[in-house]
C-alpha cells in the first residue's frame, strides 16, 4: 500500500493540535492517573468540552451523531490527545457499547442511552469475563431467566473495570442453558443501582483500584433492556470485539513511552556522561524505535483495510498481530524505563494528588513518577482484550482461511 505522507491528514492533525492548544484547560493537561482512565471529574469535564465542539463522539459515523472521521483521522486524534496530556474518554461507551447501540438497538434504546454518552451523564462498564470464563468467553455461566416482562439475573463477573464508578453495565448472560454455548447468550443493559448488584474492589499489582468483582443476586432487568433478539449475544459480542482493529496496539501510548524514554536517557547521568551517550543504551533505544515504526506501519495497513470495509480473515489476523506486537512492546519498553531509573525505578511514586505535600522531594522523583506503576500495570496488557496465546491461536486459525 501507499505510505506516502497524506497532506489532508496533516491538515486535520494541525486542526486537532490547535483545538487542544486553545481548549484543553491547563489544570487538566498532563495529570498523572493511578489507572488507565482519568479521574472521573476530569473525564466528564473533557467529554463536555469535546461535545461542545461537535466532537462528542469522535469514533462514530455522522449518521449516528459522530464526527464521521476516517480511521486514520481517529488515530491521529488519539495520538494528539495523548501527546497533549488530555484526559481520557469513557472508552467502554465510545468504542465498545456505542457502536453496538448504533447498529443493533431500537430507536427507543438509542434515545435512552446515547445522549448520556455525549454528555458523560451515563458512564458504562463491561460485564463479560467470569471466574473460569475469560479466554473462553462463550463458557460464561451468569444466567438470566425470564419472569414476565423481566429477566432475573444471577451470577458473577470479574475484572469489571470501573464498576464502582459506572452508572450502567452492558452484560452477557446465558438465557438458554440447553443451546450450544455460543447460541444461548443474550446482551443486556443493566442499571448499576438495581437491587441485588454488589461490587467488590480488586486492587491490582500497581496498587491501583479500577478492577472489581460484580455479583448479581436475583437482579431484575426489564426485557426492553435487551439489545437484539434473545440469543443474539454472541453475534453482537463478535461485532463489538472486532471493532477498531487498528487501535489494538495502543499506538498513542507507545509513542508517549518513546518520548518518556528519550527524556529519561537525556536527563539521567552515567558517570561523566548521560545515558543517551552510552552505546549499549542507544542500541536498545534504536531497537525499540524500529519496532515502534513497524507497529505504526502495520497500524496504517490495518486502518486502510478497515476504511475500505475489508473485514475478512486477513484483517482479523492482522488485528491480532497488532495486539500481540503492541502489548508486548509496551511491556518491554516500560521494563527498560524502570531499569534505566536504577534505584529510583524500585519505587512506585504516587501521583501528586496522593502525595504528602510536606514531604521532601527526591532529586529525580518527577522523572520517575508513574513509571514503575505503569510497568506493573502493563503486565496485564497481554491478558486483557484476549491473551497473547489466544491471539496467536486466532492468527494461526485465520491464516488457514487465506
- Count other C-beta atoms under 10 Å from residue 232's C-beta: 18
Rounded to an integer, what is the distance from CA 64 to the centroid of its chain? 21
Distances, alpha carbon 7 to alpha carbons 3, 17, 55, 277, 327, in Å: 12, 15, 22, 36, 30
DSSP 3-state of 227: strand
The grid cell for 221 is: 432487568
Give residues with Cβ within 8 angstroms of 332, minimum separation 6: 288
Whole-angstrom distance, CA of residue 159 vs CA of residue 16: 34
User: Taking a C-beta distance cutoff of 8 angstroms, is the pair 249, 326 a contact?
Assistant: yes
Contact between 181 and 138 (Cβ < 8 Å): yes
Kindly state the helix (H) or strand (E) to which residue 186 belongs, with its residue range: strand 185-191
* CB-facing half-sphere around the CA of 214: CA atoms within 13 A: 34
State the Cα–Cα distance between residues 262 and 264, nearest whole angstrom.
Answer: 5
* Of residues 282, 296, 264, the one with CA closest to residue 371: 264
Which of 104, 142, 123, 387 is CA-nearest to residue 238?
104
Catalytic residue among 80, 244, 306, 374: 244
CA dihedral 114, 120, 121, 127 (to 10 degrees): 70
Judge whether 244 counts as a catalytic residue. Answer: yes
* Active-site residue set: 244
Amino acid at each position: 500500500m501507499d505510505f506516502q505522507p497524506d497532506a489532508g491528514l496533516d491538515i486535520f492533525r494541525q486542526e486537532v493540535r490547535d483545538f487542544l492548544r486553545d481548549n484543553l484547560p491547563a489544570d487538566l493537561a498532563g495529570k498523572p492517573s493511578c489507572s488507565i482512565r482519568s479521574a472521573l471529574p476530569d473525564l466528564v469535564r473533557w467529554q463536555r468540552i469535546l461535545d461542545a465542539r461537535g466532537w462528542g463522539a469522535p469514533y462514530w459515523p455522522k449518521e449516528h451523531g459522530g464526527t464521521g472521521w476516517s480511521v486514520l483521522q481517529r488515530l491521529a486524534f488519539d495520538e494528539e490527545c495523548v501527546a497533549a496530556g488530555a484526559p481520557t474518554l469513557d472508552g467502554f461507551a465510545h468504542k465498545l457499547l456505542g457502536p453496538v447501540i448504533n447498529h443493533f438497538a431500537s430507536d427507543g434504546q438509542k434515545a435512552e442511552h446515547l445522549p448520556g454518552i455525549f454528555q458523560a451523564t451515563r458512564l458504562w462498564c463491561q460485564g463479560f469475563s467470569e471466574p473460569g470464563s475469560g479466554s473462553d468467553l462463550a463458557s460464561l455461566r451468569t444466567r438470566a431467566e425470564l419472569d414476565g416482562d423481566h429477566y432475573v439475573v444471577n451470577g458473577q463477573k470479574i475484572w469489571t473495570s470501573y464498576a464502582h464508578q459506572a452508572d450502567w453495565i452492558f452484560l452477557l448472560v446465558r438465557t438458554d442453558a440447553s443451546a450450544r454455548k455460543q447460541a444461548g447468550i443474550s446482551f443486556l443493559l443493566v442499571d448499576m443501582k438495581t437491587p441485588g448488584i454488589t461490587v467488590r474492589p480488586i486492587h491490582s499489582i500497581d496498587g491501583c483500584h479500577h478492577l472489581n468483582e460484580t455479583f448479581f443476586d436475583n437482579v431484575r432487568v426489564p426485557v426492553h433492556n435487551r439489545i437484539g433478539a434473545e440469543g443474539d449475544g454472541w453475534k453482537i459480542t463478535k461485532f463489538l470485539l472486532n471493532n477498531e482493529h487498528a487501535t489494538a496496539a495502543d499506538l498513542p501510548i507507545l509513542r508517549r513511552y518513546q518520548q518518556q524514554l528519550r527524556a529519561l536517557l537525556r536527563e539521567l547521568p552515567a558517570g561523566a556522561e548521560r545515558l543517551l551517550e552510552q552505546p549499549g543504551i542507544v542500541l536498545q533505544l534504536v531497537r525499540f524505535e524500529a519496532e515502534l515504526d513497524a507497529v505504526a506501519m502495520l497500524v496504517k495497513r490495518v486502518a486502510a483495510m478497515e476504511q475500505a470495509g475489508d473485514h475478512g480473515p486477513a484483517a482479523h489476523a492482522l488485528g491480532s498481530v497488532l495486539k500481540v506486537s503492541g502489548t508486548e512492546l509496551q511491556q518491554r519498553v516500560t521494563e527498560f524505563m524502570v531499569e534505566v531509573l536504577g534505584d529510583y525505578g524500585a519505587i512506585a511514586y504516587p501521583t501528586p494528588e496522593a502525595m504528602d505535600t510536606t514531604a521532601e522531594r527526591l532529586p529525580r522523583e518527577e522523572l520517575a513518577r508513574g513509571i514503575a506503576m505503569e510497568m506493573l500495570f502493563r503486565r496485564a496488557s497481554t491478558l486483557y482484550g484476549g491473551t497473547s496465546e489466544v491471539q496467536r491461536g486466532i492468527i494461526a486459525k485465520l491464516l488457514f482461511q487465506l
